[in-house]
Structure formats: C-alpha cells, structure tokens
Amino acid sequence: MVWTEHLALIYLLVEWSIRLIMLVIVPLRRPPEAARSWLLLVFFLPVPALVLYRLIGRSRFPAWRQQRFAEAATLRRRVATSLPRPEGAATAITELAERLGEFPVTGASGLTLMSDYELSIDNLAADIDAAEASVHLLTYIFADDATGQKVAAALGRAVRRGVDARVLIDAVGSRPWKRGTLALLAAEGVPCKLALPVRWWTTVRRARADLRNHRKIAVIDGRLAYVGSQNIVDRNFRRRVVNDELVARVEGPVAAAVAAVFASDWYLETRETLPVLPMPAAATAPVQVMPSGPDYGVPGFERLLVALIHAAETQVTLVSPYLIPDEALLAALQTAAYRGVTIDLVVSRVVDQQLIRLAQRSFYDELMSMGVRIHRYRSHLLHAKHVSIDGRIGVIGSGNADLRSFMLNAEISMLLYEPEHVANLIAQQAQCMALSDRLDLLQWRRRPMAMRLAENLARLVGPLL
C-alpha cells in the first residue's frame, strides 16, 4: 500500500515536472497558436505529450544538416549573383523574396501555365526527350504507375543518349511506391536518391521525422524548368479522388535558379556537388524563384504571403487545397478586408485528409465574417496552389496556406511580375471559381452542432499537424 502511494506520488511529481519544463521550452521559436496547442496537450496528458513532442515537436534540423546546408550556400550564391536582373524590376516584394529565398528577380523568355494533367506530363516527357546535357527532377511523389513509367522511360532514353539524369524523391511522400519506383528507375539506369530518409535513429538525430521535401520541380539543361503542384503519379491515384493541378513551364535565366535549388537539395542528401551549367540568355520578363523550408530558419512562404496581402490594394485571390492559417495570415486577411480589398479564397470541397478538412472548415465562419469570399471547388481535389495580388503579382508553386508548408516542408514558389503572366494566372483562377460554389455565411452557420464540435477539436490539433 505504501509502495503504491509512493509510485502515485512519483508519477504526480513527474507529470508536474513535465508541465513546468514544457512551459518554458514549448513557447521558444514557435507560433503562438502552436504553443497553445502543445501546452494544452501537456496540461492534460503530460507524459504522452512529452513522447509526442520528442517525435514531432521541433521543426529544426540537427547541426550536421545545418552545416551541410551552409556548405551548399556557395553554389546558391554563385548562381544568384550571376543571374541577370531586368531593369526597373526591383520592388519591396522582390527584395523581401530575395532575402527569404536568396535568389533575386531575374528574367524569363517564355512561361506557360498548364492545368491539363496529362498534357503537362506529356510535355515534360517531350522536353526530357529533347534534353542535351542534363535532366534533374525533384518531386514529393514519384509512383511506378502509368504516369511514372512514362516519365521514367523518357529519363531512360535520355541516359542512353549520354544525358546526366538524376531524380530526387521524398522518402515519405513516395513511400507507398518507393520499392517499385526505385526498381523502375534503376532498370532505366537513372540515379535516384531519397530526400530525408526516415530510419529509427534519424528521429533522434533530426528531432522529427515529418520534415519533408514537398517541392515539385524539373530542370532540363539548366535552361527550362517546371514548377508547380503536380507530382509524378496518376491523376486518380487516390480512390474516388481526382487531382486538378497547375504547373508553370518556364525558360530563361530563372531556370538556372531552379537548377540551383535542385543542386542544393541533391548536395544535402549526397554531398555531391553538381556542375553549374552555362547561364541561359538574358530575358526581360521579370520572374523570381523563392525556395523556403526549415533549412532557411524562417517560415519564408508565410512571410511572403502575409507581406503580399498587406501590400494588396484591390484584390487578393488565394487558391489552396489545405487552408489552416496562422494568426499572422488571419490578421493580414482581416486587415486587407477592412481596407476594402476584395478577397477570394478557393478551397477544395473534395478532400483526401479528413482531419485537415475539419480543421480548415473551422476557419470559414471567421473568414466570411471578415468579408472574405470562400469558393469550394466542386468535382475534383483542387491540388493547385497559387495567389494573385491586384493583377500585378502572381505566385505559383508547391506551398499550401497551412502551418505544414509554412514551418515543416521544403517548398518552392515562383513569383510572376510580367502583366501577361499574371493575367494568365488570373484566368486560371477565374476558371477555378467558375467550377466552385460560393459559401453563404448564414447557410454555413446552420450546419449541425456535432460538425462544429468536430471542426473545433480539429482546429485545436491543427498546429500540431
């Protein structure tokens, strides 16, 4: 009996020790909403919270990877300083994006936006077939299905022509197909590496195993690049869910910046330095590449998005399948709405992750009360991610408007400043809204109480995702 009482006292002391220690540790370098969620969990379940925090609580890489990222900075700086800068293109936004992602505004000689899923894959395969020197491809998902086989076959043909072809795939994103994809690419003679491989001992070394490389890029000969939301996988790879995407195919010096992002990521996984190809000819259409992620130490995509919304004067259109805003983004949207800016958010009615769906639904009432218009894309999973501001700035890339893309994922964004390019992006957004249903605030508030409760509970754990 006495021994049992001693155990109970020891457990109680352990729980309160955890609570007090975590009260100091958790708020450090963490957004307030994430800190609140962690502290709430710690208060009610201190021991499980400590275990969970050890697994997924810290969004920083270990010292060895930080050192490796610093070593790769030499390559990134070399490319950044050699990029031609269009005259008169520098603004406060271009300077912010350069400070966040290291690359200045530069030029593009051609940019095409592709929303046709199969056509973008066919164009990628055709561009690989036309490659003369190198093909470098980085993607979150590379499956061994029909789409993956088509791209792998093109890569294999390039290797047999003597082209330097390399593939980098995220270890978690591609996990369901990893064995088959690695075998497929090996059979074609294509070197393939896993980004951020997860092993039991790396959890100890890296603090959390769900820091992922979510970028989707391809670079051909250092002169042509693909940037967007589309993975190398069949459009309907999820049961009963069909993906709609948007991809930018761009030529010119900006492709060299995308190539430098790939080379940096390749070095992080292999310590192999790739040669820098000759810079493509200068072009006048201003475009800028901005990588972001835990390696950079700041939530770059979030900072960019918030700054863009604060700079908006008339219109903000944001397309994102996963929308879990932090306090800074919510405040920026509210302030812009109060200034009279028209704000359209396009989200997907079809979802593939139920917890995230519930968490993002919890923000709809608050957003619509601010005057934000919410459009739910009807038939497919709108997996595209893009933003337009006042018809003068556009952003397309891999980042979602959620805490995962802000804090945990390596992402890439392409900023468009050329009026024609931005107009083409706005046309894509108008098409998305035409295929969506706009939510009505009063009708939304009539949803069942049980649904509201589920949404609010999901919102509590949203910052932990």
Please give the average per-residue pLDDT across 446-464, as a whole number: 83
Query: With b meaning 16 or more CB within 10 Å and e meaning fewer, what string describes 122-156?
Result: ebbbebbbebeebbbbbbbbbbbbebbbbbbebbb
Q: Does domain 296-464 have CATH number 3.40.50.300?
A: no
pLDDT (tens digit per residue) in 99-131: 999 999 999 998 999 999 999 999 999 999 999
CA distances from residue 62 to 151, 172, 204 in whole angstroms, order as listed: 34, 19, 9
If you average pLDDT over each of 86-95, 355-364, 399-408, 421-430, which comes out highest? 421-430
Query: With b meaning 16 or more CB within 10 Å and e meaning fewer, what string describes 400-414?
Result: bbbbbbbbbbbbbbb
What is the CATH T-level fold of the domain 63-92+106-286, as seen in this structure? Endonuclease; Chain A (3.30.870)
Please give the average per-residue pLDDT across 256-280, as a whole number: 93
User: Is the model's pTM score more than 0.75?
Assistant: yes
* Residue 380, SS3 per DSSP: coil
What residues does each domain of the chain span? 2-56, 63-92+106-286, 296-464
pLDDT value for 234:
96
pLDDT (tens digit per residue) in 374-417: 999 998 999 999 999 999 999 999 999 998 899 889 999 999 99
pLDDT value for 278:
81
- Give, as one character, the DSSP assignment of residue 62: -
Confidence of residue 23 (pLDDT cuts 50, 70, 90): low
* Residue 64, SS3 per DSSP: helix
Same fold, 63-92+106-286 and 296-464: yes
Q: How many CA atoms lie within 13 A of 184 on its CB side?
A: 20
Residue 292's nearest CA partner among 279, 280, 281, 305 is: 305
* Residue 183, SS3 per DSSP: helix
How open is the CA angle 86-319-296, to the nearest 5 degrees? Answer: 60
